[in-house]
């Protein structure tokens, strides 16, 4: 269906990465943590349910307000049930770091997608810290079993720029003997570092290395969660590629480790204005206004990739509408996301008439194509579902998106917001 224009104002839901961490850190802190702007998406609800199984008192006051009554990490109890993380890679990987500091046995599972995602990137370094872990294929896949204990600090040089890996090791380092540090090949999102500091933990950063001293205690605090720039990205691109559009998106997180999408869209010629930026909070935020624009192709790679890794599906869609060629490279990490996002993006957009080819570490898109309606599939990947919904707005003819409910992982009101803006 070709949509005439998207116009109006929306407030996108809370940041997924920050919402997860607020519940996790509140659960291991001493004292109460209040969270405002929490994302009630399936992934973050999985995190709440796992910590409730570990004996933490967590209450949802309303859709976006959560109160966590932490009693310190020592108060976590051995779970009598399996911890089910659903579709959430952040939950399983960060929880391993936290469970490394508990003297009991826990088993973790997730859905079909989680069962295919590599866990050795976390279980490997945690084993180096003397933590007992097991799982399929030598602890690379779920179900995973962990028995925490006395970790010893390590220095870990990660082969991938991954905030999940960095965060898991730093969290294990919280109670470890001595110092724990992680060096990354490029800087990944730093929400863990920022939030640990807000909970009273000292974290040191030098270049691409982050270090933490063992034996530190977290103190409950208030967490203000800004809107998720990864969710805003769908409307930033929709506003730019749908003629006559103008969308104001309120309270979007502007952490510089996450704003790669703004750099790319600006390079492509999109008109995006930043208004009312607030920098006083642990996580900065701003209102963004996007207007329909003439886009041109670009190159996306290098250190920019970790700053926009989750936005690549929607960038690929923007590129199909841009003049010229767009090359996305250095993004092999896409293969181990909720789906293999190189394959799902290329296959699903090809069904709609895009000129797009997969490469070993990204994709090449020849722009300026008119998309047509088709029978497409999210394959259970929330970001693929939202990207296809935006694509359907510019496609001629009817598009049917199978498994569209996957969007509830990170953006339960996505379709309602999209409809509310349609002219
Ligand atoms: C996340 C980190 C990223 C990102 C994911 C959320 C986080 O994964 O893709 O959606 O909250 O730390 P990697 O750290 O594996 O790149």
The tens-digit pLDDT sequence of the chain (423 residues) is 789 999 999 999 999 999 999 999 999 999 999 999 999 999 999 999 999 999 999 999 998 999 999 999 999 999 999 999 999 999 999 999 999 999 999 999 999 999 999 999 999 999 999 999 999 999 999 999 999 999 999 999 999 999 999 999 999 999 999 999 999 999 999 999 999 999 999 999 999 999 999 999 999 999 999 999 999 999 999 999 999 999 999 999 999 999 999 999 999 999 999 998 999 899 999 999 999 999 999 999 999 999 999 999 999 999 999 999 999 999 999 999 999 999 999 999 999 999 999 999 999 999 999 999 999 999 999 999 999 999 999 999 999 999 999 999 999 999 999 999 999
Pairing state between β 299-300 and 325-328 = parallel
Per-residue pLDDT, 30:
98
Contact 96, 140 (CB under 8 A): no
Taking each helix axis from N to C end, the angle separating 260-267 and 312-320, rounded to the nearest 10 degrees, works out to: 10
**Ligand 1 geometric centre to CA of 90 (Å):** 6
**Ligand 1 geometric centre to CA of 162 (Å):** 6
Residue 230 alpha carbon, nearest atom of ligand 1: 10
**Ligand 1 binding residues, C-beta < 6 A:** 17, 90, 162-164, 167, 188-189, 309-310, 333
Measuring from atom 10 of ligand 1, which residue has the nearest CA? 310
Query: In CATH, what is the architecture of 7-14+226-421?
Result: Alpha-beta prism (3.65)
The closest alpha carbon to 388, from 345, 334, 328, 356, belongs to: 345
Give residues with Cβ within 8 angstroms of 38, minimum separation 6: 14, 19, 22, 23, 44, 60, 63, 64, 65, 66, 225
Residues of each domain in the chain carrying CATH 3.65.10.10: 7-14+226-421, 16-224
Q: Do the annotations mark residue 164 as ligand-binding?
A: yes
Q: Do the annotations mark residue 124 as ligand-binding?
A: no
Known active-site residue 310: yes
Give residues with Cβ within 8 angstroms of 292, minimum separation 6: 5, 239, 240, 241, 242, 243, 244, 245, 246, 271
Residue 165 alpha carbon, nearest atom of ligand 1: 14
Of the candidates 84, 228, 287, 310, the residue annotated as catalytic is 310
Q: Hey, which CATH number is domain 16-224, 3.65.10.10, 3.40.50.1820, 1.20.1250.20, 2.102.10.10?
A: 3.65.10.10
Q: Do the annotations mark residue 93 as ligand-binding?
A: no
Q: CA-CA distance, 44 to 51, in Å (whole number)?
A: 11
Per-residue pLDDT, 276:
86
**Ligand 1 geometric centre to CA of 7 (Å):** 31
Q: Do the annotations mark residue 16 as ligand-binding?
A: yes
Per-residue pLDDT, 206:
98
Per-residue pLDDT, 324:
98
Contact 118, 124 (CB under 8 A): no
Pocket test for ligand 1, best of 20, 88, 90, 191 (most atoms within 8 A of CB): 90
The closest alpha carbon to 114, from 136, 141, 94, belongs to: 141
Q: CA-CA distance, 411 to 413, in Å (whole number)?
A: 6
**Ligand 1 geometric centre to CA of 55 (Å):** 26
Q: CA-CA distance, 407 to 102, in Å (whole number)?
A: 34
Per-residue pLDDT, 157:
98
Per-residue pLDDT, 280:
87
Show the CA angle centred on residue 360, arms to residues 354 and 363, nearest 5°.
25
Per-residue pLDDT, 423:
93
């Amino acid at each position: 269906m070709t949509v005439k224009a998207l116009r109006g104002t929306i407030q996108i839901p809370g940041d997924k990465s920050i919402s997860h961490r607020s519940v996790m850190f509140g659960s291991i802190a001493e004292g109460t943590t209040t969270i405002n702007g929490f994302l009630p998406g399936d992934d973050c609800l999985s995190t709440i349910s796992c910590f409730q199984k570990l004996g933490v008192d967590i209450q949802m006051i309303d859709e976006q307000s959560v109160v966590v009554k932490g009693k310190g990490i020592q108060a976590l109890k051995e779970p009598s049930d399996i911890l089910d993380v659903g579709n959430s890679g952040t939950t399983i990987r960060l929880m391993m770091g936290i469970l490394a500091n508990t003297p009991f046995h826990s088993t973790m599972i997730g859905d079909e997608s989680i069962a295919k995602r590599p866990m050795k990137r976390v279980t490997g370094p945690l084993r180096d810290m003397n933590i007992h872990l097991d799982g399929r294929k030598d602890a690379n896949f779920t179900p995973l079993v962990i028995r925490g204990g006395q970790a010893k600090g390590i220095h870990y040089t990660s082969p991938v720029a991954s905030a999940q890996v960095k965060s898991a090791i730093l969290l294990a380092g919280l109670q470890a003997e001595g110092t724990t540090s992680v060096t990354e090949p490029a800087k990944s999102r730093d929400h863990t570092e920022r939030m640990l500091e807000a909970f009273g933990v000292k974290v040191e950063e030098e270049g691409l290395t982050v270090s933490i001293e063992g034996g530190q205690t977290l103190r409950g605090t208030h967490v203000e969660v800004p809107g998720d720039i990864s969710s805003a990205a769908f409307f930033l691109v929709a506003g730019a590629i749908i003629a006559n559009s103008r969308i104001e998106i309120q309270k979007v997180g502007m952490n510089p480790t996450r704003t790669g999408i703004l750099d790319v869209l600006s390079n492509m010629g999109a008109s995006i204005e930043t208004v009312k930026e607030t920098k006083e909070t642990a996580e900065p935020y701003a209102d963004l206004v996007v207007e329909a624009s003439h886009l041109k192709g670009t190159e996306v790679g290098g250190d920019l990739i970790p700053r926009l890794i989750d936005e690549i599906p929607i960038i690929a869609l923007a590129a199909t509408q841009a003049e010229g060629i767009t090359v996305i490279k250095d993004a092999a990490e896409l293969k181990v996301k909720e789906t293999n996002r190189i394959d799902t993006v290329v296959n699903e957009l090809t069904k709609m008439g895009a000129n797009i080819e997969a490469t070993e570490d990204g994709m090449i898109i020849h722009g300026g194509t008119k998309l047509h309606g088709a029978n497409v599939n999210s394959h259970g990947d929330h970001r693929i579902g939202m990207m296809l919904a935006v694509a359907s707005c510019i496609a001629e003819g009817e598009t049917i998106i199978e498994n569209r409910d996957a969007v509830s992982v990170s953006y339960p009101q996505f379709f309602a917001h999209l409809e509310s803006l349609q002219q």
